[in-house]
Structure 1
Amino acid sequence: MREPAFWHAPSSWTSHLLRPLGALYGAIAAQRLTRMGFDAGVPVLCVGNYHLGGAGKTPTVLALAKILRELGEMPVVLSRGYGGRLRGPVMVDPSRHGAGDVGDEPLMMAQRIPVAVSGDRINGVALARSQRASVILMDDGFQNPSIAKDASLIVIDSERGLGNGFVFPAGPLRAPLLPQLARTDALIVVGDGAAGQAVAAEVAARGGLVLSSRLAPDAASLERLRGKRVLAFAGIGDPRRFFRTLRAAGIEVARERTFADHHPFSKGELESLVADAKADQLALVTTEKDFARLCRPRETPAALRDIVPFAVTLEFADAAPLKKFLADRLFKAREHRVQKR
């Protein structure tokens, strides 16, 4: 799906015409947020967005998993596997699963951390616990009430913010902002832009933790592209953020190609990208998520050798408050469950 341009415009007739539908959708979504969820039996940390589209959830999940392991935890990611055909529950195995099976983001994360995919999140909890998970990292699902969350950490892109601030389909919000703010325990702002400042101030005023972060390029990816002009392509929520990241890292982006989020690349599209890059003597570069969709188990197209998957890591300006926040939430979650027995 490509996001409509009017979602990120100050005002438009289209968005205003759709606001009644957005009000209805928002009322239903806000009511769902009040429902009691299933107790997973272990702490559940949810990483989500206020809006549709990308903001950096996947790098955030991986960064949190690293910190949790430093705290002695055994995190398992729970995902519904958007874009994959398997309903699960199933543990993602990169050696036998492709993006068409389990979704691109779970496949990418499974290279670094155990990932359970399940269309039914309660069944996914059971599978994660069978893997001896001491804490479940829920990838998305902030607006889904099926599982009770012990903490919700929301990711926002500092350049795009919340777009026009309207609820879908008039804008990108998944639910009215106020009930979402009320359930936000921490806000992770990605980048140095100003679009997230108002939301960050509101979260802080409500007692939530606000963290600044940035996407840091992987050194090996930078080395492969050093001194080269590139054709960059991406099928993610915000391809422009990827292009900005490349340029900020000193890479000369000569050409850009954008595709819809989770776009399933065909053989013809891949061959066309390779041919276009060769014609202009450019290196091909894409995101790790896009590269995951291009790869298939036991099948490696020769064209993939010409593509650099550009890896990034989410780095926090100060990780100490986050570590304390996570340790405190895990302690309180476990203490609460002991008291309920």
Structure 2
Amino acid sequence: MNPEIKTPLPGWLSDSFPIRLLSKTYGAVIKRRNLSFERNKDLSYRSEFPVISIGGIRAGGTGKTPLTMQIAHYLVSQQYNVAFLSRGYRRASKKDQIVLPYEKSDWQLIGDEPAMLHENIPQSFLAISSKRVRSAQKLQQIAPSNTVLLLDDGFQHRKLGRDLDIVCLNESILSEKLIPAGYLREPIESLNRADILVLTGSADRLSDLKETASGLRERFGDKAIFIAVQSVECWVNAFTGEQQVEPPFKEPVAFCGIARPHRFFQLLETQGVYPVKKIIFPDHHRFSQYDIESMHKLYSHGLVTTEKDAFRLSNNNFVPELKLWYLKIKIRFESDSQLNRFNTLISNVVLNKFKRRSSS
């Protein structure tokens, strides 16, 4: 059975006339907005740095963060500087923030996912603002000339022009509905403005991902289409940083506050981990003292969670010394040749942008 939930509403309500009308109206508004950007290129600001957007057209987790991290690691390996641009979803502060390389930051002020990206790639710049153009302009004043801007969740943020648009998709994308009947932020036709489509999902859904890839090639044959599956890198102790390949516990309490918790629980089973209790919190949940104490009372062997949840917990002052480990995951392309092709597309775009800049 496909575990992907395609509607935030009860089935009878998502198919009702008022909801279908709302979705149609919403789609018309989005199309009109996109058309205005197509007709007037001056609406988008062009940075002197290469801009790569990693985004989606579906609300919820589609693997954008691990793909962004992989791209950043690749660019760093190619001797480029990297700057992440994010709005800092659900952060406590509304002020613009620039986090410099190796600078410590409070995730509550900048958002959990941007803070996690910066911690994994500490030599990066991090710019947080609801106005990504403003972030790009500030970075142009302080970042090295060989900096590449990575626009987090940027497909809809069209005021900042980009040199490469990468869109992450799930296996059910071809049958999804627009908000509010479904989770689509834009009509499927919006993929025409993307350069690269990356289908992400769990390894056990590979056949479904391949089937969706075939459907996408029929409709968007001029796009570079890739398949990338989640794979386990290692287990990490959230407080000591100790890493190991084998699961630390066989029957822990498992908890998470992410968009698609079933994916995390499925990954646990592939590792031979069968939780005695599964606890689901809302996405980007801010853990309270009560949450921690309740889970602390539940477990006998230990707690396991996702990297994002462990990041929020381990950076909380009230967290006791828990036996807490998280599953560090990465995305793995279908083959080495596909990964090499993907990296080559990234390199070509970046090199061409720098060449155009130097010749102007």
TM-score by length of 1: 0.87
- Structure 2 residue aligned with 1:14: 13
Q: Deviations over 1:130-178 (max 9, x none)?
A: 22262101110201211111111111234xx338511111100001001
1:332 paired residue among 349, 352, 358: 352
Structure 2: segments with no counterpart, 5+ residues: 237-243
Residue 307 (structure 2) pairs with residue 307 (structure 1): no
Equivalent position SS for 1:252: coil
- Cα distance between partner residues in 1 of 2:352 and 2:157: 22
Q: CA deviation at 1:184?
A: 1.7
Equivalent of residue 309 in structure 2, options 287, 290, 297: 290
Q: 1:248 to 1:16 in 2, by over 3 A?
A: same
Superposed counterparts of 1:73-152, under 5 Å: 73-92=80-99, 97-113=105-121, 114=124, 115-129=126-140, 130-132=142-144, 134-152=147-165
Task: Please list the CA deviations of residues 306-333 of structure 1 after superposition, one character each: whole Å capped at 9, or x if unmatched.
Answer: 2212211222232110111111222333
Q: Does the 8 A contact of 2:6 with 2:183 survive in 1? A: no
Amino acid at match of 1:46: S
Contact 2:8 2:180 (C-alpha < 8 Å) held by counterparts:
no
Paired residues of 1:33 and 1:144 also in contact (CA < 8 A):
no
Match of 1:201 in 2: 214
* Structure 1 Cα separation of the partners of residues 57 and 211 of structure 2: 14
RMSD after superposition: 2.6
Query: For 2:68 and 2:139, how far apart are their aligned partners in 1?
Result: 15
User: Would you say how many aligned residue pairs link Structure 1 and Structure 2?
Assistant: 328
Distance 1:125 1:200, change over 3 A: same
Q: Report the CA distance shift for 1:185/1:5 in structure 2 as closer, same or farther (over 3 A).
A: closer
Deviation, structure 1 residue 23:
1.3
**SS class of match (1:110):** helix
Q: Which SS does the other structure have where 2:291 is aligned?
A: helix
Give the secondary-structure state (helix, strand or coil) at the position aligned to 1:101: helix
Amino acid paired to 1:301? V
Question: Which structure's relative contact order is higher, taking Cα pairs within 8 Å and 6+ residues apart?
Answer: 1
Q: Which residue of 1 aligns with 2:194?
A: 184
Counterpart of 2:264 in structure 1 is 242
Identity of aligned residues (%): 26
For residues 174 and 195 of structure 1, do their structure 2 counterparts lie closer, same or farther at Cα, with a shift above 3 Å needed? farther
Between the aligned partners of 2:162 and 2:32, the Cα distance in structure 1 is: 17
For the residues of structure 2 that align with 1:5 and 1:320, how far apart are their CA atoms?
A: 33
Deviates more, 1:285-294 or 1:54-63: 285-294
Q: 1:227 to 1:236 in 2, by over 3 A?
A: closer
**Quick check: 2:264–2:306 contact (8 Å CA) kept in 1?**
yes
User: C-alpha deviations, 1:81-112, integer Å up to 9, x for none?
Assistant: 00112334323479753332111101111112
- What is the alpha-carbon distance in structure 1 between the residues aligned to residue 251 and residue 173 of structure 2? 33
Instruction: After superposing the two structures, state which structure 1 stretch, 80-89 or 201-210, moved more.
Output: 201-210
Distance 1:310 1:163, change over 3 A: farther
Superposed, 1:45-56 pairs within 5 Å as: 45-56=52-63
CA contact (8 A) 1:156 1:196 kept: no
2:222 equivalent to 1:214: no
**Letter paired with 2:49:** V
Q: Is the 8 A contact 2:249 2:302 kept in 1?
A: no
Over 3 Å counting, the alpha-carbon distance change for 1:198 and 1:219 in structure 2 is closer
The DSSP-based 3-state class of the residue aligned with 2:252 is strand
Q: Distance between the aligned counterparts of 1:155 and 1:121, measured in 2?
A: 20
Name the SS of the counterpart of 1:122 in structure 2. Answer: helix
